[in-house]
Structures are given as C-alpha cells and as structure tokens.
A and B are shown apart, each in its own frame.
Chain A
Amino acid sequence: MNSIRKLIGPKIEFIRNLNVGRIVRPLHRLTGLVLLGCLCLHLMALGSNILFGEGTFNALMTKLESRRIKFLGFCLLLMVGFHIINGLRITILDFRQFTRGRKRIFWIGIAILVIILAIVLIMTLSYLAK
C-alpha cells in the first residue's frame, strides 16, 4: 500500500497543485531546446554558401519553399511566439515584487533597452523608407 502511495503520490500532488506555471514551464524549456537546435540548423543553412558555394545555397533556399517545409516553418513560428509570450510573462512576474537591488537593476535594464530599441527603430524606419 505504501509503495503504491509512493508511486502515485507525486502525480496526485501534481494534479492537485496544477496551475499555469506548472504546465507552461516544461513547455517553455522544451521550446527553448528545440529553438536552440533550429538556430544551429539556421546557421548551417546560411553558411552553406561558404562550404559548398552560391549554387548550393540557392538550391537549398528553393527547397525550403516547399509546402512541407513551410508548414514546419509555421510550427516554428508558433513555438517562437509561445516562447516569447511566456518569457515576457515570466519577466513581468519576476519584476512584480521589487526588492531594492532588483529595482535598480530593472531601471538600468530599462535605460539600456530604450537606447538599443531607439537605434534599431531608427535603422528599420530609415531602411524601409528607401
């Protein structure tokens, strides 16, 4: 009886204390790992012109236009979207309870962020205006 309780106890406890964080946390990690793998593939595909030449690169890009690959690309976008939204949720939750140290870090971060975002925004607008 005790062994059964030991076996299913954690599972019951998990279900009883089920909340958004508990479901989303492993998914966030899983999508993060998949995206890291995709980043490596992305860099390998982009670097194919260095290894095999321009012709191979163009042929690879044409292959990526197939419906199957586009569907995989769509799944990838969904994963990126989920990872971003959940990441922002975690960030907001982390900064909700400010301690003195965290508050200072937060404002330093905001200042750096504003500067970089302004530069990127100017770059993008100037480019799109051409």
Chain B
Amino acid sequence: MNLSSLRWFLQRLTSVLLTFFLIVHFIIYFFHLPRPITFAAIVQHIQSSIFWLIFYMLLLMIVLSHSLNGLYQIIEDYRPSSQLRLIITWFLWIFGLITFAWGLQILLTYQVW
C-alpha cells in the first residue's frame, strides 16, 4: 500500500467514523446540554465519565485527520511542485499537531477543573 492509497483509505475510514461521532456530538449538544450553555454544564458533562474525554479526544483526532487530509487533496489537484508539496505537507502536519494540542488542552481543562 503506497502513501497515496493509504491517504485515500484514511479519508474514507474517517468519513464514516466522523458521521457516527458527529451524530452523537449533535445529540449531546442539542438535547442534553442546558441553554444557554455554561462552563459548569460542560465541566459536569465531561467529568461524568472518562469515556467522554476519550470520545472527544478521538473526535478531535478524526476530524483533524479528515479535514487536513481533504485540504491536502484539494491542493494536490492543482498539481503543486514537489518542493511546494513538501512545504504544504509540513505546514499541515504542524498545524494539525498544534490544533490537536490546543484541543487537548481545552479538554483537560474541563476534566481537571
């Protein structure tokens, strides 16, 4: 399996996973959390079970992988040079890791509050 087909496979896998994760996320957001949403309500929700921490960590990982992989595929359609492709790949990796770290920081803030 080369890198291109691995990327194709990951995009398909994450799309199906994301569908399910997003449905659960929307159910929680629209039907479970009180209106207006407060900091305390989110803390209570995240701390109610360790599974929610894992759930949101997985959601963050999947959504970042899907969106940045999709962005790379859009850019690749414009046939950038190999040098530019390398720069874009590095940029997307760094952006993804920083965003994941930021999301993790948010989740852990809610978890340990």
Which residues on A are within 8 Å of B, measured CB to CB?
29, 32-33, 35-36, 39-40, 43, 46-47, 49-50, 54, 57-58, 61-62, 64-65, 77, 80, 84, 87-88, 90-91, 94-95, 101, 105, 109, 112-113, 116-117, 120, 123-124, 126-127, 130
Contacts and interface: CB of A to CB of B under 8 A. Distances in A.
Contact of A58 (B24, B39, B52): B39
Contacts of B16: 88, 91, 109, 113
B22 A47 contact: no
A95 B35 CA distance: 42
22 contacts: A29-B70, A32-B67, A32-B70, A36-B68, A36-B71, A47-B106, A58-B36, A58-B39, A84-B19, A88-B15, A91-B16, A94-B8, A101-B1, A109-B9, A109-B12, A116-B17, A120-B21, A120-B24, A123-B51, A123-B52, A124-B27, A127-B48
Contacts of A43: 99, 102-103, 106
B98 to A, nearest CB: 11
SS class, residues of chain B in contact with chain A: helix
Most chain B CB atoms below 10 A, which of A33, A80, A88, A116: A116
A36 to B, nearest CB: 5
Contacts of A47: 102, 105-106
Given A36-B71, A105-B9, 16 more contacts: A43-B102, A47-B105, A49-B39, A50-B106, A50-B109, A58-B39, A61-B39, A64-B37, A84-B18, A88-B15, A91-B16, A105-B1, A120-B20, A124-B27, A126-B49, A126-B51
A109 B112 CA distance: 34
Contacts of B19: 84, 87-88
A116 B51 CA distance: 12
B74 interface: yes
A130 B18 CA distance: 25
